[in-house]
Chain A
Amino acid sequence: MAGIKSVQNRENPFKHNWFISAIWLLVVCYVLYTFNAMDLSWGRINEGFGHASNLLGRMIPPNFSRWSLLLSGLIESLEIAVISSICGIFISLFLGLFAARNMMPSWVSTPVRALIALCRTFHPVIIAILFVKSVGFGALAGILTLIVASIGFIAKLFAEAIEEISLKQVEAIRATGAGFASIILFSVMPQVFARFIGFSTYQLDSNLRNSTMVGIVGAGGLGGTLFSAFQRFDYDFVAAILIVIIALIMFGEFLSNIVRRIFR
Chain B
Amino acid sequence: MNTIDHHWQRFTLRQKLSRYAVYLVLVLAFFQSIQSVEVIPEFLLDAPEQMGDMFSRMWPIDFAYYPVAVHDAMIETLNIATLGTLITLIFAIPLALMNASNIVNSAWCHWISRFFLVSSRSVNSLVWALLFVSIFGPGVIAGVLAIAFRSIGFVGKLLGEAIEEVNMGSIEALKATGASWMSILLKGYWPQVLPAFFSIVLFRWDINVRESAVLGLVGAGGIGVVLDDSMNLFQWDRVAMSLLAIFIIVILAEIVVVNIRKRLI
Using a CB–CB distance below 8 Å, which chain A residues touch chain B? 14, 27, 30-31, 34, 37-40, 44-45, 48, 51-52, 55, 75-76, 78-80, 82-83, 86, 121-123, 125-126, 129-130, 133-136, 138-140, 143, 190, 209-210, 212-213, 216-217, 220, 223, 226-227, 230, 233, 235, 242, 245-246, 249-250, 259, 262-263
Q: Could you list 24 examples of A-B contacts with CB < 8 Å?
A: A31-B83, A40-B140, A48-B135, A55-B131, A80-B37, A122-B250, A123-B213, A126-B213, A126-B243, A126-B246, A129-B231, A135-B47, A136-B43, A136-B50, A209-B124, A212-B124, A213-B124, A216-B126, A216-B217, A220-B38, A223-B126, A227-B218, A246-B119, A263-B22
Given the contacts A40-B140, A82-B30, A216-B218, A121 and B38 also touching, CB distance less than 8 Å = no
| CB-CB contacts below 8 Å: B41-98 with A | 43-44, 47, 50-51, 54, 76, 79, 82-83, 86
Q: Are A249 and B135 in contact (CB under 8 A)?
A: no
Q: What residues of chain B lie closer than 8 Å to A140, measured between beta carbons?
A: 39-40, 43-44
Contacts of A30 in B (CB 8 A): 82
CB neighbours (8 Å) of B82 from chain A are 30, 34
When distances are taken between beta carbons in the complex, the residues of chain B under 8 Å from A82 are 29-30, 33
Contact partner, B30, options A40, A86, A245, Cβ 8 Å: A86
- Closest A residue to B37 by beta carbon equals A79
Pairs A-B, 9 closest by C-beta atoms: A79-B33, A136-B43, A134-B51, A48-B136, A249-B122, A213-B124, A125-B214, A79-B37, A134-B50
Once the chains bind, are A76 and B37 in contact (CB under 8 Å)?
A: yes
The number of chain B residues with a CB under 8 A from chain A is 56
0/1 interface trace, chain B 21-32, chain A, CB 8 Å (1 if under) = 010001001100
User: Given contacts A80-B37, A121-B251, A126-B227, could you give 7 more A-B pairs where the C-beta distance is less than 8 Å?
Assistant: A31-B83, A45-B141, A76-B37, A83-B37, A122-B210, A122-B246, A249-B122
Which residues in window 120-160 of B have CB below 8 A to A? Answer: 122-124, 126-127, 130-131, 134-137, 140-141, 144
B187 near A: Cβ within 8 Å?
A: yes
Residues in B neighbouring A83, C-beta threshold 8 A: 30, 33-34, 37
- Once A52-B135, A245-B122 are accepted as A-B contacts, the answer to whether A38 and B29 lie under 8 Å apart by CB is no
Residues of B contacting A: mostly: helix
Query: Which residue of chain A lies nearest to B214 when distances are taken between CB atoms in the complex?
Result: A125
Which residue of B is nearest A210, CB measured?
B124
Q: How far is the CB of A72 from chain B (nearest CB, A)?
A: 10
- Interface-centre pick from A30, A55, A135 (highest chain B CB count, 10 A): A135
Q: Is B180 an interface residue (CB 8 A)?
A: no
Are B135 and A126 within 8 A (Cβ)?
Answer: no
| Minimum distance in angstroms from B41 CB to a CB of chain A | 9
B211 interface residue per 8 A CB criterion: yes
A130 & B33 in contact (Cβ 8 Å cutoff): no
Verify A217–B33 contact, CB threshold 8 A. no
CA distance A150 to B251 in the complex (A): 19
Q: Answer whether residue B9 sits at the interface, using C-beta atoms and an 8 A cutoff.
A: no
Q: Does B111 contact A (CB under 8 A)?
A: no
Cβ–Cβ contact A40 & B144, under 8 A: yes
Is B36 an interface residue, CB under 8 A from the partner?
Answer: yes
- How far, in Å, is B250 (CB) from chain A's closest CB? 5
Residues of A within 8 A of B112 (CB): none
Docked complex Cα distance between A134 and B236 (Å): 13
CB distance from A198 to the nearest CB of B (A): 14
B145 to chain A, nearest CB (A): 9
Q: Find chain B residues with CB under 8 A from A78 CB.
A: 33
In whole Å, how far is B104's beta carbon from the nearest beta carbon of chain A? 23
User: How far apart are the CA atoms of A52 and B131 in the complex, in Å?
Assistant: 9
